[in-house]
């Protein structure tokens, strides 16, 4: 049941990817995704896919797990790809009444499929190899320069950490309330949509009540500890870039450089 | 005849995952009409898992749950009808209150049973009186009641289904002593009046000693001790081994015995201990 929801999907490990600094991973993932989307050359795209394969191998995350992350999105990806197949102009290869498929459309549809799959696989890879706390810490430090523009970075990361921390608690609470209302004969399996929505009121309402109660309790607890935002706060675990991070950055600079070069010198798909 | 009978129930959590855990193993148990049974056990001993098997919230991996001599999993689609016969009150039941008036919240169970409005109204009033609240509460906002009152409204919500067994998971957790006493008085009256069996999970040995007739001790998903209150609390050593204890007053008597006083340590309530001590002193006077 809801107990099975994995919030985040961190798989603890000691692989190369696990040991990288979360900031390195966030930035490199972002650059990778941008590359996957702007690449116009088949060679460059193939190169990036191979790179992704190498990274998955380095991460010690079973390929099955990565596939499991992609799987729920496949219908959406296929739908998006199909729309493109039908709507891109070019030389028609198939024509029947209003349906017209062009060679350009086929290629764009197919590459979009590849791009979106790579996007999700790439994102899943970083969440598999980085704990949520690390991700939050990495994000906080990456956004730190925005403080200059009065952007509440500390508060944002605090909110993020609290949200992540309480998701499993709320999931547990949800389980408990569902059981309690089922014990009073709640019928949640009704096929009728209206009835189904109605049946969930006695579950959602207490869930909100308890979420608010928890929030108030937490606010009190935080205030009692004199929290006042990020002013003067230090960290117990300070993130430091290691030699491994510099090696990874150099490696990726070369890889991304190659990818750009492929785009420049072999710019077509054919 | 037993209302509910558990035959060799075993249950595992998370089968096929790294978090797999044997939660219950070979549990046998039966509850008769009007019985008052207590379940004690260390945190994580399987108490809550066990009571979730009573009304089919969990399905055992092996073994049978019989209600009125019929396997409740024979027709899995009709499991809902079992839930009206076996009333389950979870820990902190007041957190499941959702309606804007007390009456509407208590009516939730009877309404799910498909009763007509008149019967529902009657059941709501009846249940409210069982927990010692009068009709003036009917139209009040449950969220503005005190914690103890909310708890009683929540329990009334289950009583209104007129179950044959009322199962309570730590019904007094977080209540003050006055609230606890009050709740038990009403539970006892309710049991006498309706002949409903009560099964109670508790951490308080005093509560168990004072109110129940039969005790089950759970440890790591197994029943390790079972019997009448004095017979179970006679095993202070075994209970300690399972992270449990005997009632404080029994402890006091055990202490006296250790110092060489010839007391009978089978007393588990303050009243019994008082009689025992008086007997002891009277005996001395005679000498």
Which structural domains are found in chain B, ordered by start? Answer: 2-246 (3.40.50.300), 247-287 (no CATH)
**Can you point out the beta strands (E) in A116-200?**
none
Q: How far apart are CA B280 and CA B266, in angstroms?
A: 14
What does the pLDDT read at residue B168?
96
Q: Are B52 and A179 inside 8 Å of each other by CB?
A: yes
Q: For the segment B31-41, what is each residue's pLDDT rounded down to a tens digit? A: 999 999 999 99
Identify which has the larger pLDDT, B81 or A12: B81
Q: For the segment A89-121, what is each residue's pLDDT rounded down to a tens digit? A: 777 777 777 777 777 788 888 888 889 999 988
Please report residues of A whose CB lies closer than 8 A to that of B150: none
Walk across the sheet containing B62-67 and list its strands: B21-32, B2-13, B62-67, B70-71
Cβ within 8 Å of residue B94, ≥6 positions away: B147, B150, B151, B153, B154
A184 touches chain B (CB under 8 A): yes
Mutation to test the B interface, candidates A183, A185, A198, A213, most B Cβ within 10 Å: A183
- State ipTM: 0.87
Give how far A203 is from chain B: nearest CA, Å. 8
Residue A5 has pLDDT above 60, yes or no: no
pTM for the whole structure: 0.76
Q: Are A183 and B87 inside 8 Å of each other by CB?
A: yes
Q: How far apart are CA B149 and CA B97, in angstroms?
A: 12
Q: Are B108 and A202 inside 8 Å of each other by CB?
A: yes
Mutation to test the B interface, candidates A174, A180, A216, most B Cβ within 10 Å: A180
Q: Are A206 and B98 inside 8 Å of each other by CB?
A: yes
Q: Which residues of B touch A (CB under 8 A)?
A: 52, 55, 57, 80, 83-84, 87-90, 93, 95-99, 108-109, 112-113, 143, 157-158, 161
| First CA to last CA distance, chain A | 49
Q: For the segment B193-223, what is each residue's pLDDT rounded down to a tens digit? A: 999 999 999 988 989 998 999 999 999 999 9
Q: For the segment A141-150, what is each residue's pLDDT rounded down to a tens digit? A: 888 888 888 8
Please report residues of A whose CB lies closer than 8 A to that of B162: none
Mean pLDDT confidence for A58-68 = 84
Residue A259 has pLDDT above 80, yes or no: yes
What does the pLDDT read at residue B99?
92
Give how far A65 is from chain B: nearest CA, Å. 14
What CA dihedral angle connects A148, A152, A154 and A159, to 10 degrees? -160
Please state, as a whole number, how many other Cβ atoms lie within 10 Å of the Cβ of residue B82: 22
What's the pLDDT band for B2 if we cut at 50, 70, 90? confident
Cβ within 8 Å of residue A14, ≥6 positions away: none
């Amino acid at each position: 049941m809801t107990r099975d929801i994995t919030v985040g999907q961190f798989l603890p490990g000691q692989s190369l990817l696990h040991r990288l600094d979360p900031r390195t991973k966030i930035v490199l993932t972002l650059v990778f995704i941008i590359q996957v989307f702007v690449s116009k050359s088949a060679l460059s795209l193939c190169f990036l896919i191979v790179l992704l394969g190498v990274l998955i191998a380095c991460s010690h995350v079973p390929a099955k797990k990565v596939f499991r992350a992609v799987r729920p999105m496949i219908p959406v990806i296929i739908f998006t790809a199909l729309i493109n197949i039908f709507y891109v102009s070019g030389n028609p290869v198939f024509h029947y009444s209003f349906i017209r498929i062009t060679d350009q459309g086929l290629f764009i549809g197919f590459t979009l499929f590849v791009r979106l799959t790579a996007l999700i696989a790439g994102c899943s890879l970083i969440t598999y190899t980085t704990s949520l706390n690390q991700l939050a810490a990495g994000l906080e430090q990456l956004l730190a320069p925005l403080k200059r523009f009065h952007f509440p970075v500390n508060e944002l990361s605090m909110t993020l950490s609290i949200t992540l921390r309480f998701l499993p608690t709320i999931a547990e609470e949800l389980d408990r309330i569902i059981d309690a209302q089922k014990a009073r004969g709640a019928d949640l399996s009704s096929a009728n949509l209206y009835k189904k929505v109605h049946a969930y009121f006695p579950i959602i309402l207490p869930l909100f009540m308890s979420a608010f109660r928890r929030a108030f309790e937490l606010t009190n607890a935080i205030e009692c500890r004199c929290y006042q935002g990020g002013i003067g706060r230090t960290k117990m675990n300070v993130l430091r870039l290691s030699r491994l991070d510099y090696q990874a950055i150099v490696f990726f600079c070369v890889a991304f450089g190659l990818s750009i070069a492929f785009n420049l010198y072999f710019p077509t798909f054919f | 005849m037993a209302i509910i009978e558990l035959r060799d129930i075993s249950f595992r959590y998370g089968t096929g995952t790294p978090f797999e855990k044997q939660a219950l193993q070979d549990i046998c148990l039966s509850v008769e009409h009007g019985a008052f049974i207590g379940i004690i056990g260390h945190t994580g001993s399987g108490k809550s898992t066990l009571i979730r098997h009573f009304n089919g919230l969990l399905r055992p991996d092996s073994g049978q749950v019989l209600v009125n001599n019929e396997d409740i999993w024979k027709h899995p689609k009709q499991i809902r009808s079992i839930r009206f016969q076996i009333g389950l009150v979870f820990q902190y039941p007041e957190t499941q209150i959702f309606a804007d008036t007390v009456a509407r919240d208590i009516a939730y169970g009877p309404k799910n049973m498909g009763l007509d409005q008149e019967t529902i109204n009657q059941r709501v009033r009846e249940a409210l009186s069982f927990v010692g609240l009068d009709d003036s509460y009917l139209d009040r906002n449950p969220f503005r009641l005190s914690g103890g009152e909310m708890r009683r409204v929540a329990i009334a919500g289950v009583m209104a289904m007129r179950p044959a067994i009322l199962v309570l998971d730590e019904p007094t957790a977080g209540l003050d002593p006055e609230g606890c006493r009050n709740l038990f008085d009403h539970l006892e009256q309710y049991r006498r009046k309706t002949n409903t069996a009560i099964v109670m999970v508790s951490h308080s040995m005093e509560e168990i000693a004072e109110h129940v007739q039969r005790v089950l001790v759970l440890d790591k998903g197994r029943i390790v001790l079972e019997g009448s209150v004095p017979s179970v609390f006679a095993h202070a050593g075994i209970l300690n081994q399972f992270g449990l204890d005997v009632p404080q007053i029994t402890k006091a008597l055990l202490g006296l015995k250790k110092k060489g006083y010839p007391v009978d340590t089978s007393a588990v309530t303050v009243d019994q201990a008082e009689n025992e001590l008086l007997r002891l002193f009277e005996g001395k006077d005679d000498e």
